[in-house]
Amino acid sequence: MPTFNPDRYKVHNDWFRHCGRSGLKLPAISLGCWHNFGDPGTDAAKHQTEEGIHDNARQMLVTAFDNGITHFDLANNYGPKAGAAETRVGRILASDFQGHRDELVISTKAGYWMWDGPYGDFGSRKYLLSSLDQSLRRLQLDYVDIFYHHRPDPNTPIEETMSALDTAVRSGKALYAGLSNYHGKQLEDALAACEKHGFYKPIINQPSYSMFNRWIESDLLDSISKTGTGVIAFCPLAQGLLTKKYLGGIPDDSRAKQEKGFLREDGVTPELVAKAQKLDVVAGRRGQTLAQLALLWTIRDPRVTSALIGASRPQQVLENVKVLESGPLTDDELAEIEAILA
């Protein structure tokens, strides 16, 4: 079992932020346990051994916690295959984090396909509560800190979905409820249903948000301001487009070269690469990497509680935790970034 850094909480004053109007604080950077936590032989772990994958995942979690990242985010279907990431993280929590459970925020989700048949997808009580029980077994935990509904379900009444999240909290299997991929009106409708029926309200929404994907600015953030809900942004590095990886072309070992995945080769356009190259110049003047600049930009709005990073190795975690060291973005820098992104 590792001996963790005793100074891991001596971080920047703005590192831990309240999640909306709740009492829960999250670190400015949280670690997502999706890619690189799967099984050998899968698309995300080709040519890797089980021992190699597990040791790398363990080192990433240990490095994150050792440097002030207290929040690990999962979902029932993360892996691949589905469930593999929870199983792996559960093993690591049991072997390396004994005595530190109360210092961690562990979240998981349900809402996308998980198992065959009519009860393994979307937002019914049957699916959500069954999935939560399965997640707790894989994670080897009595409870998770946040249990999310992973996506809106157009065919299930919002009252039913919110009642399931309420049950999860009242049962003690989750401390807080959350939503993911909900737009502004969907968030407001969900919270209104909670208000009407006396359900525990979700305290956080997890949308995609980055310099290259700014939809929440014209939709969700206004609802966040009205409701006092926190935001944790996933894909703040635009699947790697906002890192140095694609500045000189598409590497053969990149996600964009894979047949499967969210970032396809045709998504790495000359226009986006040109913008990333200009943003890299701004980052260099600040003494930052492009990834650090992109993360800092994502959390510049106080309504955004945390940015959720993925990583393939511990060194990436160490790079990203330095995001606040160069100080906040100035008005001139923000204006220059806006001009580049326009």
119-158 tens-digit pLDDT: 999 999 999 999 999 999 999 999 999 999 999 999 999 9
Supply φ then ψ for residue 111, to 5 degrees: 165, -25
Residue 253 pLDDT class (50, 70, 90 cuts):
low
Please, what's the b/e burial string for 152-172 (b: 16 or more CB within 10 A of its CB; e: otherwise)?
bbeebebbebbbbbbbbbeee
pLDDT of 261 > 60? The answer is no
pLDDT of 257 > 60? The answer is no
What would the pLDDT profile of 28-74 be if each residue is shown by its tens digit?
Answer: 999 999 989 999 866 556 678 999 999 999 999 999 999 999 999 99
Taking the domains of the chain in order of start, what are their residue ranges?
16-239+299-328
So what's the pLDDT on residue 266? Answer: 63
So what's the pLDDT on residue 323? Answer: 95
So what CATH class is 16-239+299-328?
Answer: alpha beta
Indicate the pTM of the whole model.
Answer: 0.93
Gap between the Cα atoms of 275 and 255, Å rounded: 20
pLDDT of 320 > 60? The answer is yes
Q: Considering the chain, what percentage of its residues have pLDDT values greater than 70?
A: 92
So what's the pLDDT on residue 164? Answer: 98
Gap between the Cα atoms of 120 and 124, Å rounded: 9
Residue 263 pLDDT class (50, 70, 90 cuts):
low
What would the pLDDT profile of 173-189 be if each residue is shown by its tens digit?
Answer: 999 999 999 999 999 99
**Quick one: average pLDDT of 198-222?**
97
Residue 251 pLDDT class (50, 70, 90 cuts):
low
What would the pLDDT profile of 266-296 be if each residue is shown by its tens digit?
Answer: 668 899 999 999 999 999 999 999 999 999 9
Gap between the Cα atoms of 276 and 153, Å rounded: 35
More confident residue, 254 or 248: 248
Cα-Cα-Cα-Cα dihedral sign, residues 14, 104, 145, 217: positive
Residue 245 pLDDT class (50, 70, 90 cuts):
confident
